[in-house]
Structure 1
C-alpha cells in the first residue's frame, strides 16, 4: 500500500494570494454569470425562433451547465470568506449566487464542509460518511449529489429555526448562521420565481433551465469523486488536483483541490499560481498520485475501483451525512 506523507508544505503564500479583492470578485462573478447566461440566452432565443434547430442549439447547454455549476463554486468560496474581507457580506453573496442551483442550500453545506476540512478523509468527515457508500458510477452520478443536496436543504431548514444551535466549532456566530439560513431559503424561492416570470415570454426557458440544473448536478457529483477518490492502494490521500487548462477554465481554478485543502484561504482563481509555486519548491516529488494532468482522464475516478478517500477496508456501517 502506498502511503502519502501528509506534512504540510513549508511554502508561505504571499499576502497578495490571501487578501480578498473586490475587483477580482467582480471579475470572477461576472465570468461565471456570463458562462451561464450567454449560451443559455442564445439557446432560448434560437429555439424560440427556430424550434427545429434544437440539434444544433442543444450543445449550448454544456457551457451553460458549467456556468450554473460555478455558482455553487462561488457559494463554496464565499463561505471560505474569499469573496470579501467582510465575512458576512462574503457569505451573503455566496447565498445569493449559489441559490441559482435550485435545491442547493450552501448554508447547510457550509456546516458539513467546515468539518470536511477538519477531518478530511476520516470517519469524522461528513463527506466520507456520505460519499463512500456509493460505489457504482451510476449511483455516484445520479444519487450521491441528490442525497447530499437533500441533506443540506434539511440542515438549512433546521438552522433557520429560532434558537437553532450549530454543532461543532464554526467561524461564524449562531445568530449570523440563522440569518444566512433564512436568506438562503428565501433565495431558493426567489430564483425559481424569476425563471417562471421570464418563462411567460420565453416558454422554452424552463426546459432549458431544467437541462442546465441536471448538467450542474452531474458535474458536481462527478467533481466530488474526481477530487477525493483514489485507488485502494493509496492510503490516506489528501485530495487531487486536476491540472488540465480546460479544467481550470471550466472550474475557475477550483480544480486545484489539493492546494485548496492545504491553503483554504486562497481564492480558487489564484490556486493555479499557488500550484506553480509548490511545483517549483519540489513539494510534489513523490506525490504524483495527487495530480491528474488530463481533463478526460479525470472521469475514471467515478468508477468503483476508486473508493472515496482511499481504501474501504474496516469501515463502520454508513450513517447519515451529519452523524
Structure 2
C-alpha cells in the first residue's frame, strides 16, 4: 500500500518565478486565444463547403475547445494576480478572457477558489463539498461542472447587487469585488452579442461554438478529478501534476496542479520550472502517486475507482500552504 506522507517542500524558489511580466502575460493570453480561434475559424471555413466537409472537420473543434477551456484558466490566473502587480487590472484581464466561456463567471469562482486554497481537502473547502458527491464518470464530467458553473454564476449575480455583502477573507476590498462582478456580467453579455453578430454572417459559427462550449464543459469536468481524485490507499494527497508535454501545451502549464498548490503565486506557465526544481531536489522520490505522466492515462481518474481526494480529510499538520506566505509579497 503506497502511503506517502505529505509535508511542504523546503525548496526556496527564485523571486523571478513569482514576478509578473507584461510580456509573458500578453504571450500567454495570445497563445490561449490562438489555440481557440485558429482551429475554430479553420472549421468554419471548411464547413462552408458542405455537410461532408463540416463532418470531416469536426476534430478541429477539439483543440478549439481546449483553447476555450484555457480562457477559464486565464480567469484563474487573473484572480491569482499573475498578470499584473496591479491586482484589479489582473482580475479585469481574467474577467475579460474567461467570459468567452458562456455562463462561467470567474468572480463567483474566485470566492470559492480562494477558500479552496485556504482549506484544501476539508469541510470548509467548497470543492470538497461539491465534487466528492459524484462517483459515476458521466456525473463527474457533466453534472458536477454544471452545478459548479451555476453556483459561480449565482454568486456573481449576488455580488453584483447594490450593497452586496462579501463573505470570507478575500484579498480584495468588497467594493472591488462588487465592481468585478458587474463587469463580469457585462462581459458575459458582450461576448454573447459578439457571437450573435458574427453568426449572422457565418451561420455555421453558432453550432461550432456550441460544440466547443460543450466539449470545454467536459474537459473542465474531467479536470477537477484529474487534479484531485486519488486511489484510496494514497494518504492525504493535495493534488496531482500531469507531466506530459501535450498536457502542458493544452493547459499552458496549469496541469502542474500540485506545484500550484505548493506555490500558488507562481504563474501557471512557470510551474514546469518549479516541477523540475522539485524533481532535482528529490522531493518527489517517494511521491510518485502524485504524478501522472500519460495524457490519455489521466482520464481514468474520472472513474469511480478514484475517490475525490477530499473524501479523506487531511490532518492539520499536513494541510497545504495557504496563499499567504507562499511567495514574495506583491
TM-score past 0.5 threshold = yes
| Cα pair 1:231 1:310 within 8 Å, conserved | no
Superposed, which structure 2 residues align to 1:192-203 within 5 Å? 192-203=192-203
Give ranges in structure 1 of 5+ residues lacking alignment. Answer: 314-323
| Cα pair 1:75 1:94 within 8 Å, conserved | yes
CA distance in structure 1 between the aligned counterparts of 2:86 and 2:258, rounded to whole angstroms: 26
In the TM superposition, what is the alpha-carbon distance from 1:85 to its structure 2 partner? 1.1
- SS of the residue 2:304 aligns to: coil
CA distance in structure 2 between the aligned counterparts of 1:103 and 1:165, rounded to whole angstroms: 22
Q: What residue is the counterpart of 2:261 in the other structure?
A: 261
CA distance in structure 2 between the aligned counterparts of 1:265 and 1:20, rounded to whole angstroms: 10
- SS of the residue 1:274 aligns to: helix
Q: What residue is the counterpart of 1:172 in the other structure?
A: 172
Q: What residue is the counterpart of 1:44 in the other structure?
A: 44
Moved over 4 A (4+): 310-313
Q: What residue is the counterpart of 2:279 in the other structure?
A: 279
CA RMSD of aligned residues (A): 1.2
In the TM superposition, what is the alpha-carbon distance from 1:49 to its structure 2 partner? 3.0
Q: What residue is the counterpart of 2:306 in the other structure?
A: 306
Encode CA deviations 1:90-113: one digit per residue, 9 max, x unaligned. 000000000000000000000000
In the TM superposition, what is the alpha-carbon distance from 1:6 to its structure 2 partner? 2.6
Encode CA deviations 1:57-114: one digit per residue, 9 max, x unaligned. 1110000000000000000000000011110000000000000000000000000000
CA distance in structure 1 between the aligned counterparts of 2:310 and 2:203, rounded to whole angstroms: 46
In the TM superposition, what is the alpha-carbon distance from 1:39 to its structure 2 partner? 0.5
Encode CA deviations 1:254-275: one digit per residue, 9 max, x unaligned. 0000000000000000000110
Give ranges in structure 2 of 5+ residues lacking alignment. Answer: 314-330
Q: What residue is the counterpart of 1:216 in the other structure?
A: 216
Aligned length in residues: 313
In the TM superposition, what is the alpha-carbon distance from 1:51 to its structure 2 partner? 3.3
In the TM superposition, what is the alpha-carbon distance from 1:12 to its structure 2 partner? 1.2
Q: What residue is the counterpart of 2:144 in the other structure?
A: 144
Q: What residue is the counterpart of 1:182 in the other structure?
A: 182
- TM-score, normalisation: structure 1: 0.95
CA distance in structure 1 between the aligned counterparts of 2:58 and 2:299, rounded to whole angstroms: 22
Encode CA deviations 1:104-149: one digit per residue, 9 max, x unaligned. 0000000000000011111111001000001100100111100000
CA distance in structure 2 between the aligned counterparts of 1:167 and 1:257, rounded to whole angstroms: 26
1:312 to 1:117, Cα distance in 2 relative to 1, 3 A: closer
Does residue 82 of structure 1 match 2:82? yes
In the TM superposition, what is the alpha-carbon distance from 1:310 to its structure 2 partner? 5.2
Superposed, which structure 2 residues align to 1:1-323 within 5 Å? 2-309=2-309, 311=311
Q: What residue is the counterpart of 2:324 in the other structure?
A: none
